[in-house]
Amino acid sequence: MPAHNTTTGYGAVSKALHWAIAALVLTMIPLGLVAVEWRYDTSDALATKALLFSIHKTLGVAVFFLALVRIGWMLGQPRPVPLRPERRLETALAEGVHWLLYVSLVAVPLSGWVQHAAAAGFAPIWWPFAQTLPFVPRSADVAAAAGAVHATFTKLLMAALALHVAGALKHHLVDRDGTLARMLPGRLASAATAPVPVQRRALAPVLGALVVYGLVGGAVVTLAQGGGDTDARPGVALPATPVAATSSSWIVESGELTFTVRQMGSPVTGRFARFDADIAFEETPDADGRHGFVTVAIPIASMTLGSVTEQARGPEFFDAESHPAARFAADIVAAEKGGGEGGEAGGEEGGYRAQGTLALAGAEVPVALPFTLDIVDGVATASGTVTVDRRDFGMGESYPDEATVGFSVEIGVSLTARRGGAGEGA
C-alpha cells in the first residue's frame, strides 16, 4: 500500500494516523467521563481517581501532538474525492464534520492541558515536559474557564464523532459504496499509485468549523467568568472594613492567601479567593511592644484546591458545612521581640510577626506568622509564610501517613494595603 494518498484513496500514513487517533480518542472520552465521576472519599479512591486522570492527561497530550502531525500530513496530501459528489449537501456536511474533528483534535486536548497547567498539581501528566504551558498563569479563574471549555468541547467532539460514524455506516450499509472500505487498513489505497497534484480545498467547511469553535469557546469563557458564583473570584481580597477609621487602620487593596500541601508527593497550591482583613498598624510600638493587630475572616467556600476542591471542603478536611469561616486574630510585634516559633523574618529590617490564634475547622491553634513589610507613600506591601500541621486541626484523620496528603501545610499571604486615615475610610 503506498504511503501517500491519491485522489481516490487513502495512503498508509493517513490510515495509520486516522485509526491510531480514533482508538485513542475513543478511549479518552469514557476515561474522562469516568475520571470526573470517580468518587474520592477515601485515600484509595482518591489515588485511583488521580491515576485515571494521569492516564487521561498523558494520553491526551499524545493525541495533541499526533493531531498536529496528522493535520500537517493532511495539508500536504491529495484528498480522495468523495464517492458521491452529486449529493452536494451530504458532501458539504461530511466535509464540515471532518473539520470539526480536526479542530477538536487540537482544541480538546489543549483546553484540558491549559486547565492542568493553570490548576497545578493534582494528577501529574507523565510526560516530563508537560506540567506547565507558556503564557498560562497559575490561576483558579483560568483553570475554571479552561475546564468549562474542555467539558464543552468534548461534547462538540462527541456530537461530531456521532455524525461522522453515522455517515460512515450509512455509506457502508445503505449506500453500499466503498467509503468505509477505503479508510480501512490493508485495502489497496487506489488503482492509481502515481502521486497526483494536491487538490484545492474548499475554505467554507474549514471556516465553518473554526467559527463553531470560536463561538462556543467564547460563550463558555464568558459564562465561566461572568456567571460564576461570587465566592470564586480568586486573588482579590475584599476591601477591609476598618474597625475604626483611625490613622493606624489600613485598607487592603489586593492580596493573595494560598496554602501548599504535598499530594501524592507533589506540592499542590490552593487559594482563598476572599478574605476580610482588619488591620491596625503603627511604625512606633506601644508600651507592650505591639505595633498593632490583625483580624482576618476567611470564608471556606471561597477556597479552591485544583480538582479536589470539593473533597478539601468536605468533612474530612476544612469541614466547610460545620465551620464555614476560618479566623486569624493576632497581635503584630517586631520579629526579633518575644519568643515563639517561626521567626524567619527576625532581626531583618522590616521584619514583623503576627502572633495569635488560627481558628479553623473547629480547632484553635497558636500561630506566629513572620512577615516582611514595606511602606512607601502610605501603601504597605506585606508578605509572609508559615508552616502548620494539618493534624493540629484534626484534618485528614483517615490519611494517617503522608503518602496521599502531607502533614505540613505552608500558608502564604501577600497583600498591599493603603493607610486609611480618618476621612478616607468611607
C-alpha cell of residue 56: 487521561
User: For residues 327-351, b (16+ Cβ closer than 10 Å) or e, as one string?
Assistant: bbbbbbbbbebeeeebbebbeeeeb
CB of 251 to ligand HEM, least distance (A): 35
CB of 321 to ligand HEM, least distance (A): 22
Helix axis angle, 12-37 to 43-75, nearest 10°? 150
Whether the CB-CB separation of 146 and 220 falls below 8 Å is answered with no
**With CB under 6 A as the contact rule, which of the stretches 75-83, 310-318, 367-375, 387-395 interacts with ligand HEM?**
75-83
Instruction: Kindly report the number of other CB atoms within 10 A of residue 77's CB atom.
Output: 19
By CB under 6 A, tell whether 113 contacts ligand HEM: yes
By CB under 6 A, tell whether 151 contacts ligand HEM: yes
What's the rounded Cα separation, in Å, for the pair 1 and 417? 71
By CB under 6 A, tell whether 213 contacts ligand HEM: no
CB of 25 to ligand HEM, least distance (A): 3
Measured in whole angstroms, how far is the alpha carbon of residue 400 from the centre of its chain? 28
Backbone angles phi, psi at 190, to 5 degrees: -175, 170
What single DSSP character describes residue 174?
I
**With CB under 6 A as the contact rule, which of the stretches 25-33, 311-319, 322-330, 394-402 interacts with ligand HEM?**
25-33
Residue found under cell 478616607? 424
Judged by CB, which is closer to ligand HEM: 39, or 243? 39
By CB under 6 A, tell whether 13 contacts ligand HEM: no
> What is the torsional sign of CA 220, 224, 225, 228?
positive
By CB under 6 A, tell whether 122 contacts ligand HEM: no
By CB under 6 A, tell whether 17 contacts ligand HEM: no
By CB under 6 A, tell whether 165 contacts ligand HEM: yes
User: Helical H runs in 175-254?
Assistant: 203-226
Q: Is 114 helix (H, G, I), strand (E, B) or coil?
A: helix
| Interacting residue with ligand HEM among 4, 11, 15, 21 (CB under 6 A) | 21
Judged by CB, which is closer to ligand HEM: 188, or 365? 188
User: Helical H runs in 186-269?
Assistant: 203-226
> What is the torsional sign of CA 195, 74, 28, 130?
positive
What single DSSP character describes residue 184?
S
**With CB under 6 A as the contact rule, which of the stretches 143-151, 244-252, 322-330, 356-364 interacts with ligand HEM?**
143-151
What's the rounded Cα separation, in Å, for the pair 251 and 419? 6
By CB under 6 A, tell whether 168 contacts ligand HEM: yes
CB of 39 to ligand HEM, least distance (A): 14
| Residues in 183-212 that interact with ligand HEM by CB under 6 A | 183
**What is the contact surface with ligand HEM in residues (CB under 6 A)?**
18, 21-22, 25-26, 28-29, 32-33, 36, 56-57, 60-61, 63, 74, 79-80, 82, 98, 101-102, 105, 108-109, 112-113, 115-116, 125, 147, 150-151, 154, 157, 161, 164-165, 168, 179-180, 182-183, 307
